């Protein structure tokens, strides 16, 4: 597999590993037939309760056995199975095109997008989403199963690889368009998604500013959200290097230099990284959003398997 580019063949192969991420059993609120249990009462596959007939009830739901025994009309109610809309917000902004080992964060994000998208096929969900980058964005309305998945993956490959070429042109002094912000993407997602949707945000969250947090809170009111943070090992800690070298670093606003060979410099860098990680966890906890971390420095599937083993107490 390439560490820099993404191919549709690579992303299609994740269809065979999709079962490894089927862990979501949350009740859905959508209005279509599918693989999630809805709290909405009606005709369906799973019996919920039996109560007295009320005006407007479907006469086909009358329980004649209980009605005959009690002398009062009773109806059976069922929990309907519902299909849910799943949206992937894939962040391919400038900070994602970085990698110190194994692969770029952007490439790992594309692979994770494929794995999560294929998992929805087994739950009969519709898949759509928004892909944002430095040179534009793409909105995809949810479509049924494989059609929606392939639409998402094809656009992911196209936008990711196109940006690699455009970044090379931009470095030669060409004009660079204004990138789509994370706050802007979340605002678009609020308009695009239906109430009760499952939203998966794949990003490094380096651009999670106050505006983005506000939109995130509004989205969470009526939807289920999972945050998948993609990070590079070098963003969390500096390697121990004996040589006297200086590395340029930036948090997106301020720029500076660090010396991996200096213990004091490494400690300050580590403290700053820990503070940023703690702040992100607090934001996600505040809004009740499940937060997952995925490193770009090792195999995606190995990390998913390790997470599963930890959750099972192995």
Q: What is the rounded average pLDDT of the residues 79-83? A: 57
Is the domain of 72 the same as that of 173?
Answer: no
Indicate the range of 134-148, 173-187, 264-278 predicted with least confidence.
Answer: 173-187
- The pLDDT assigned to 50 comes to 85
Q: What is the rounded average pLDDT of the residues 31-55? A: 56
Measured between its terminal Cα atoms, the distance across the chain in Å is 30
- The pLDDT assigned to 27 comes to 32
Domain assignment of residue 169, yes or no:
yes
| CA atoms of 247 and 165, how far apart (whole Å) | 26
Classify 252 in phi/psi space as left (phi over 0), alpha (psi -120 to 50) or beta.
left
For residue range 126-178, list pLDDT tens digits in order: 899 999 998 878 999 998 878 999 999 999 999 999 988 876 555 555 555 56
Contact 11, 156 (CB under 8 A): yes
Is the domain of 219 the same as that of 90?
Answer: yes
Q: Per the structure block, which two tokens stand in for 280?
A: 């992100």
Instruction: Calculate ∠ Cα 276-193-145, nearest 5°.
Output: 105
Instruction: Calculate ∠ Cα 139-141-143, nearest 5°.
Output: 140
Q: Which residue has the tokens 């204004």?
A: 178
- Give me the percent of the chain exceeding a pLDDT of 90: 50
Is the domain of 303 the same as that of 157?
Answer: yes
Is the domain of 53 the same as that of 115?
Answer: no
Q: What size, in residues, is the chain? A: 314
Domain assignment of residue 96, yes or no:
yes
Q: What DSSP character marks residue 62?
A: B
Is the domain of 102 the same as that of 165?
Answer: yes
- Between residues 253 and 140, the one the model is more confident about: 140
Is the domain of 149 the same as that of 196?
Answer: yes
Q: What is the rounded average pLDDT of the residues 222-241? A: 92
Domain assignment of residue 41, yes or no:
no
Domain assignment of residue 38, yes or no:
no
Instruction: Calculate ∠ Cα 253-293-29, nearest 5°.
Output: 105
- The pLDDT assigned to 82 comes to 58
Which of these three, 79, 94, 120, is where a domain ends?
79
Is the domain of 71 the same as that of 168?
Answer: no
For the domain that residue 168 is a member of, what is the CATH number? 3.40.50
- Residue 252, pLDDT above cutoff 70: no
Q: Per the structure block, which two tokens stand in for 308?
A: 């599963």
For 304, other C-beta atoms within 10 Å of its C-beta total 17
Q: What is the rounded average pLDDT of the residues 227-252? A: 82
| CA atoms of 202 and 227, how far apart (whole Å) | 6
Is the domain of 64 the same as that of 100?
Answer: no
- The pLDDT assigned to 307 comes to 81
Domain assignment of residue 257, yes or no:
no
Contact 102, 287 (CB under 8 A): no
Share the mean pLDDT of the chain. 83
Contact 81, 45 (CB under 8 A): yes
- The pLDDT assigned to 200 comes to 97
For residue range 91-107, list pLDDT tens digits in order: 999 999 999 999 999 99
Is the domain of 215 the same as that of 159?
Answer: yes
Instruction: Give the model's confidence band at 57: pLDDT under 50 very low, under 70 low, under 90 confident, else very high.
Output: confident
- Between residues 174 and 225, the one the model is more confident about: 225
β-bridge pairing 74-83 and 46-52: antiparallel
State how many domains the chain has: 2
Domain assignment of residue 126, yes or no:
yes
- Whole-model pTM above 0.95? no
Is the domain of 70 the same as that of 92?
Answer: no
Is the domain of 75 the same as that of 86?
Answer: no
Is the domain of 194 the same as that of 92?
Answer: yes
Please enumerate in sequence order all residues whose Cβ is within 8 A of that of 46, keeping only pairs 6 or more positions apart, or say none: 37, 78, 79, 81
Domain that holds residue 170: 8-29+82-224+297-313
Domain assignment of residue 252, yes or no:
no
């Amino acid at each position: 597999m390439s560490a820099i580019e993404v191919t549709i063949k690579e992303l299609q192969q994740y269809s065979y590993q999709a079962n490894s991420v089927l862990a979501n059993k949350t009740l859905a609120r959508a209005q279509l037939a599918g693989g999630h249990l809805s709290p909405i009462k009606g005709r369906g596959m799973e019996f919920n309760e039996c109560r007295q007939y009320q005006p407007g009830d479907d006469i086909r739901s009358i329980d004649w056995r209980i009605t005959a025994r009690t002398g009062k009309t009773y109806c059976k109610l069922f929990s309907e199975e519902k299909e849910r809309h799943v949206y992937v917000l894939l962040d391919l902004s400038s900070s994602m095109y970085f990698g110190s080992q194994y692969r770029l964060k952007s490439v790992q994000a594309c692979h994770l997008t494929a794995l999560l998208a294929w998992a929805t096929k087994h739950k009969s969900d519709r898949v759509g989403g928004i892909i944002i980058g430095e040179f534009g964005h793409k909105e995809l309305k949810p479509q049924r199963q494989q059609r929606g998945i392939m639409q998402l993956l094809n656009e992911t490959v196209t936008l990711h690889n196109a940006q690699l070429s455009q970044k090379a042109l931009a470095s030669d002094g060409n004009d660079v368009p204004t990138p789509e912000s994370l706050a802007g993407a979340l605002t678009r997602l609020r308009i695009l998604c239906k109430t009760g949707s499952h939203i998966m945000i794949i990003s490094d969250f380096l651009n999670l500013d106050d505006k983005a947090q506000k939109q995130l809170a509004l989205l969470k009111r009526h939807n289920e959200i999972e945050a998948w943070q993609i990070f590079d090992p070098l963003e969390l800690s500096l390697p121990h290097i004996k040589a006297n070298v200086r590395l340029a670093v930036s948090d997106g606003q301020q720029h500076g230099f660090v010396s991996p060979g200096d213990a004091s410099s490494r400690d300050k860098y580590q403290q700053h990284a820990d503070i940023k990680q703690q702040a992100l966890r607090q934001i996600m906890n505040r809004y009740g959003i499940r937060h997952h971390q995925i490193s770009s420095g090792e195999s995606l599937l190995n990390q998913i398997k390790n997470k599963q083993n930890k959750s099972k107490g192995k």
